[in-house]
Structure formats: structure tokens, C-alpha cells
Structure 1
Amino acid sequence: MILSPFEWMIAKRYLLPGKGEAFIALVAGISVGVVMLSVAMLVIVMSVMNGFRAELLDKIVGLNGHAIVQAYGGRLDNWEDVLEKVRKTPGVVDASPLIEQPLLTTFNGRVEAILVRGNTAEDITELGEKVVFGNIGDLRPGEGRVAIGSRLAQNIGARVGDTITIINPQGRSTPFGTVPRQIGYEVAAIFEIGVYDYDKAFVVMPMQDAQTLLLTGNTVGMIEVKVDDPDNVSEILAPVEQDLAGQAVVADWKTINATLFEALQVERVAMFFALSFMVVVAAFNILSSLVMLVRAKTRDIAIMRTMGATRRSLLKIFVTTGFTVGAIGTVAGLILGFVVLYFRQGIVEGIQWLLGIELWDPSIRFLSTLPSRTDPVEVMGIVALALVMSFLATLYPAFKAASTDPVQVLRYE
């Protein structure tokens, strides 16, 4: 819609009401503010929801892979053959053996439930970037060293160099019963994954040490798998699942964390639907401000009609006026949304300090910081929604102005 110089001049004049039209200017300013807040809220909420899902998936996959092949009974005897078969499957990027067993640990009289993980040297090396204290390279088979999560270290009061005791209920048999197996391990490193449940429970050690601790011999509990397309992991591993039917089960990240990710998806859709009504409210504000503008400018509209202005020109003037209000609010909302997202962690910490409460408890929200990941497609959708609603809100006042009869308005002038 191209405006003539006359139409654009009138539209600019109506965008800045005069001194006697302060109330109209106030309503128009409120319209801009509501559009700005609605767009900003949509951008912020959707980015945080996307970031939460993506960050949680990255951290879970980074530690557990996209899927696991777990044997019935917890022991995979012919794991070398299964590992080779999995690695040759099209779409599989990497696969490695893994031992995982819930046990207990004690240090200085404190006891905590832990999850012992026996990893290969390659997987332990990859964990190095998560280390906050110590050296992950000190974890070598047969040297009795482990790496523990940061929350677990806090709970039991252990530091690098301390010796913790891991208790395995499966010990040696005596005339008085089974004596649990207790082995001391030196803490060589403390890591932080960023997922509360992992940081408070995981104890990582070389696979050979885990086999010795658990008395499993040359067997593993499972094989973790990484694929090139996480969303289609079940289709990629379908041949493996068929070959291992009755021997092992294949569980992907969607199945293992189904409840969590389904809840996130439902919450994401619900939040978008609820916040979209703010855009509708903003559109009604634009409509009301334009209706008031048309009523205030009825005499001017009639005079322009008598001077040769067409209905089409008036329609374009008022549509442009209302749409510009929506566009200004949309751009301002995008700027506000991105600024809030950039300083999100500081804002959360500031509110926590001001109110004296913890808004982001990692024991409840899994992650230790507020994540964010902006999807350009979603941002374009939000902008389109705001602009379309703003445009629709201008139609009724614009048609009302275009249908003004100058004879009826000016007959008593």
C-alpha cells in the first residue's frame, strides 16, 4: 500500500495529535506500550522455554547419549559384539560401553546415595570440560581415583584429595551373613554438569575399576549411543532393537525423559496461547484509539472529502496510522525482549537479592542457571501475529472514516 504525499502528510499529522487531543495521544501511547509488552513477553517466554528444553537435552545427552542399549538383568555379556553392531548401524555417530549402578558413599560420617558410572577413557576425557576442581586426567584404571559431582561434594564435604568410601551391598559371604564391600577412592576431580540430579549423585570412575567394585567381571551394564538426528533416534535404532529382541532393550532419550519433555511441550504451547491474548488486547487498544481519533476528526474528514479526497485515500490514511502504532510497539517489544534476555541472569539474581528468596532453585528446575535460546522462526511468527492483529484492528475505524458523509457533517456549519 503506497501512500501519496498528501496521504502520508495527514497520516503523520494524526500520529502526533495536537494539544487539544491529549487523551487520544494517551490512548495511542498505551496502545504502543501494550503491543511492546505483549511482544516482549512472548519473545522472552518462548526463548526461555526453548532454552530450557535445549539446555536440558544437551546436558542429558552429553552424559547419557541419545539412547542406551540395556541388557536384561543388568549385564551384557557379549557387549563387544553388540557394540560393533551398533557402531555399524547407519545414523549412529558414536557408541561406548557403560556401567551404571546405584550405591552408597560415606565421608566423615555423612552418607549419600550415589550413582556409580564406569566410563571408558574417551568418555572420561570428554568430561574434562565440566571439571571445576582437580584434574580429570588423574582417573586411570587401577589407581583408585574417582570424579564426583559438585553438589555431592558439597553434601558430604569432600574436596580434591580426600578419600571417600563407596559401599557395595554385594560383598563376601561369612557365617554371619554377607559383609558389604567397602572400598576407598581418592577424589581426583569435581565436575559440574549443570543438572542438579546429576551433580548431586554421579561418581565417575574408569570402567575397569567399576567392574572390580561391582564384581561383574568383563561385562558391562549398557551401551550408550549417539546419533546424527536425535529427533529420529527410534527409527535409526529400530534394526538394533529387532536384532537384540529378548536380549536387551533400546531406550531413547524421548522414552527415558518422556514425562519431563512432554510436560515442557505442553507448558510451552499453553504459555504461547495465553500470552497471545495480550496481542489481542493490544489490538483492541489500537482499535479504541483509532475510533476516538475518527470521532475527533469527523469535521476534518468531511472537509477533506469536499476538497477531493477519495474514500480510498481516507482508508489508507487511517490504516497507516493504526498499523504504524502497532509496528512501533512491535519493534520496541523486540528490543525490550532481547535486552531482558541478554541480562536475564542478572535480573534473576537482582530480584533474588531484593526479595531475599531463591527464584531459581536448581533442585526443582534441574538446571543451575536460567537458559535461553531464541528461535528466529518463532520470533518471525510473533512479529507477524502482532502486525496482523494491528492491521485488523485498523479496518473498522478506517472504513468508518471512509464512509463519512460530508453533507451530513457540514450541513449545519
Structure 2
Amino acid sequence: MILSAHERMIARRYLLPHKGEGFIFLVAGFSVVAVALGVFALISVMSVMNGFRADLFDRIVGLNGHAIVQGYDGRLDDWEAIAEEATSLPGVVEATPLIEQPLMASSNGRVEGILLRGVRVEDIRSNKLITENVTAGSIADLRPGTNNVAIGGRLANALGAYPGAEISLISPEGRSTPVGTVPRIVTYRVAAIFEVGVYDYDKAFVVMPIEDAQTMLMLGDAVAMVEIEVDEPDKVNDIVAPLQQTIAGKGVMVDWRQMNSALFEALEVERVVMFVVLCIIILVAAFNIASSLIMLVRAKRRDIAILRTMGASRAGMTRIFMSVGLIIGAVGIILGAILAAIFLFFRQSVVNFIQLVSGAELWDPSVRFLSELPSKTDPFEVAAIILVTILLVFLATLFPARKAAATDPVEVLRYE
């Protein structure tokens, strides 16, 4: 929308309060604040939800891969052939053997349910999610035959374990005796404690070399599953589809969506609902802009009539009042974006401060799944939020601007 020099001058004058117009200016100020709060809320909430999904995805997939081939009865005897064929598929980055088994762990008279995870030593050391989050001990001490394990930080707290302490793993599948099956109990030394930031994993994981896990569970050379990593997670089904014939009758394939379908679907639905709900704030702000412009038009009827008699066109008056409304909206958008950037930068400090003042734990990791408030701002999403706001503000200015353009100078000057 291009304004002439005198139209820009008039629009600029109408943006500033004059005698008797303080209330109109106050309403316009409320409109700016409302737009700013709407944009701030939308950008902040969507960024946090994007960060939550991305962080959750990275941590879950970092430990479980994009797809797994799980053997029937928890055994894959010819896993080497499956892993070899998987790595030969286009798009597959890596296929690694894995053992996972829920067991019980005991230490210092305490018992906790755990998830035993047997991984090749080289895979443990190349997994940055574990190696970069070691809080005590050393991952380098995990070697086959040493009976050393790494455990999650919250499990360590629950068991009262620390590097160098001993924990006993209890498997219900032990040796058979005349009086029944005796549970298998093996003692291990805690070599390292890690905290990946996913509560359920930090509370349950016990990681050991795959050879020790095979011995513990009496699997021989078999494994429980093959973990597959691909270069395009969203296309994992198409990438691993050719592997279905090979594993027929041996096991079942599950991708990351199926493993966490309820969680990610809930996040997606929540994102859409939050976007729609928060857009209502901006819609209310747009109505405020419309209200302030209507009052401004009423207050400037005489000025509009004089301008019309001096040659101002209806289109020119429409542009002037639309520009006033759009400038109010633009100021609100800029303020909202700045507030969102500040909040997202200091988000964890804000959460900690509110917790300190209120005495309530707002980000309980046992409920929220992650241990910190994440954030990931999508530039395209921010652009969409700004465009939606501009569109709503633009629509809100149409009626007042057309009302101003429709002012009859003869009628106004006759009675005023």
C-alpha cells in the first residue's frame, strides 16, 4: 500500500494523540499490547513445543534408533545376515545388534525395576547421547568380561549406587532345580553414571557390553533385536520395507512412530490446538484495533470532511486509516517478537524463578518426560504467525477505513 506524501503526513498525525483524544490513544495502546502479547504467546508456545518434540525425538531415537527388528521370543539367531542386508539398503546408515530385557536390580537393600541394555562396546562409545552425559565414572571402563555397567542417574539415586559400588541384577529365567526355577542373580560393578535427560531412561537403564548381556540372559550368540538408523527418519517405512521378506517368520519390525505413536500424535494435536487457541488472542487484539479506529473516525469526521472538500479521494482516506491500523499492528508484532526472543533465551531462568517464588515444581521431569524446558524456533513458523497477525489486523482495518471514506462532507459540514 503506497501512500503519497500528504497521506503519510496525515496518517502520522492521526497516530499521535491530540486534545480530547487521550481515550482513543489509550485504546490504541491497549491494542498494541494485545497484539504484542498474542504474538509473544504464539511464538513462545510454538517454539517450546517444537523444542520439546525435537529434543524428545533426538533422545528417544538416539537410544532406540529409527526402526528395530525384534525377534520372536526375544531372540534373533541369524542377526548378522539381517544387519548385513539392512546396511545394504539405500538410506540405511547403520544396523547394530541390541539386547533389551526388563529385570530387577538390587543394591544397599533397595530393589528397582530396570531395563538391561546390552550394546557392543564400540557402539556405546560412539553414542554421544551417553558419552557426553556421563556425570560420574568412566564409560571407558565398560569392557567385555569385566562385569562393569553404566546406569542412569536417577536409578543410581534410587539404589544408592555410585561408581565402584556393586549392584545385583536378578533374572527370573535361571537354572531349573527339583524345586523349580531358581532366579539368576549376577553382581556387577557400577563403572559410570549417565543422565541423558529423559526421565524414564535415567530411571531404568543399565548398559553393559553385549557379550556380558548374552551371558546374563543365556542367549549364546543370539541377540534380542537389530537397531536400524536411517538418513531420513520421516521416510523410514519406505527405506526399510525391502527388509520385511528377510525377517518373515523370524521377527517383527517396528519404527519410531509405532514405538512412540501416542506421544508424538498427542504432541501434534496439541500444537494445532494451541495455535488455534492463541490465534484468538490476536483476533481479540484485531477487534481492539478496529474499535480504536472507529473511535478515531468518529473524532475526525470534521477533518475528514474538510480533506474531502480539498480534493482528498475516498481511496486516499481508506489508505490513511488502514495505514494507521497496520502501523499499530506492526508495532505490536515487533514488540511481541522481541518479548518472545527474550523469554526463550532466558526460559529456564524464568521457570526456576517462578518455582522459587511459588514453591511449586513446574517442570517435574517424572511428568514432563524431559528434565529441562526445551525450545526450537522455526523461522517459517514465525513467518506464518506474523503473516496471520498482519492478515487479521488488515481485515480489522477494512470497516473503519471504508467508513471514513464513505463520510459525506456536505452532511458533516452542514451540521458541524
* TM-score range relative to shorter protein: over 0.9
Identity %: 61
Q: Take 1:343 and 1:36, find their aligned partners in 2: how far apart are those partners?
A: 18
- In structure 2, the residue matched to 1:220 is 223
Task: Give the SS at the match of 1:268.
Answer: helix
Q: Take 2:314 and 2:179, find their aligned partners in 1: how far apart are those partners?
A: 101
Answer with 204-213 or 11-20: which moved more. Answer: 11-20
Q: Take 2:409 and 2:180, find their aligned partners in 1: how far apart are those partners?
A: 105
- In structure 1, the residue matched to 2:259 is 256
Deviations 1:47-80 (A, max 9, x none): 1111111110000000010010101111001111
Deviations 1:57-108 (A, max 9, x none): 0000000100101011110011111111111111101110000000000001
- In structure 1, the residue matched to 2:97 is 97
Within-5 A mapping of 1:296-335: 296-335=299-338
- Selected match of 1:157 from 155, 160, 181: 160
- Selected match of 2:149 from 143, 146, 149: 146
Q: Take 1:248 and 1:180, find their aligned partners in 2: how far apart are those partners?
A: 27
Query: Which residue identity lines up with residue 98 of structure 1 in the other structure?
Result: L
Deviations 1:313-351 (A, max 9, x none): 111110100110001101111111111111111111111
Deviations 1:101-158 (A, max 9, x none): 0000000100000000000112210221121111001000000100000010011111
Q: Take 1:119 and 1:343, find their aligned partners in 2: how far apart are those partners?
A: 38
TM-score normalised by length of structure 1:
0.99
Answer with 203-212 or 307-316: which moved more. Answer: 307-316
Within-5 A mapping of 1:56-135: 56-125=56-125, 126=127, 127-135=130-138
Q: Take 1:219 and 1:302, find their aligned partners in 2: how far apart are those partners?
A: 90
Answer with 389-398 or 237-246: which moved more. Answer: 237-246
Aligned-residue offset at 1:245: 1.6
Unaligned runs of 5+ in 2: none
Q: Is 2:292 aligned against 1:289?
A: yes
Q: Take 2:152 and 2:193, find their aligned partners in 1: how far apart are those partners?
A: 6
Query: Which residue identity lines up with residue 335 of structure 1 in the other structure?
Result: I
Aligned 8 A contact 2:82 2:246 in 1: no
Q: Is 2:340 aligned against 1:337?
A: yes
Q: Take 2:304 and 2:29, find their aligned partners in 1: how far apart are those partners?
A: 23
Unaligned runs of 5+ in 1: none
Query: Which residue identity lines up with residue 37 of structure 2 in the other structure?
Result: L
- In structure 2, the residue matched to 1:403 is 406
Within-5 A mapping of 1:341-356: 341-356=344-359
Across the two proteins, how many residue pairs are aligned to each other? 413
- In structure 2, the residue matched to 1:53 is 53
Task: Give the SS at the match of 1:19.
Answer: coil
Q: Take 1:213 and 1:97, find their aligned partners in 2: how far apart are those partners?
A: 16
Task: Give the SS at the match of 2:144.
Answer: coil
Q: Take 2:289 and 2:13, find their aligned partners in 1: how far apart are those partners?
A: 17
Query: Which residue identity lines up with residue 296 of structure 2 in the other structure?
Result: L
Task: Give the SS at the match of 1:237.
Answer: helix
- In structure 2, the residue matched to 1:23 is 23
Aligned-residue CA RMSD (Å): 0.9
Query: Which residue identity lines up with residue 117 of structure 1 in the other structure?
Result: R
Within-5 A mapping of 1:211-250: 211-250=214-253
Q: Is 2:207 aligned against 1:204?
A: yes
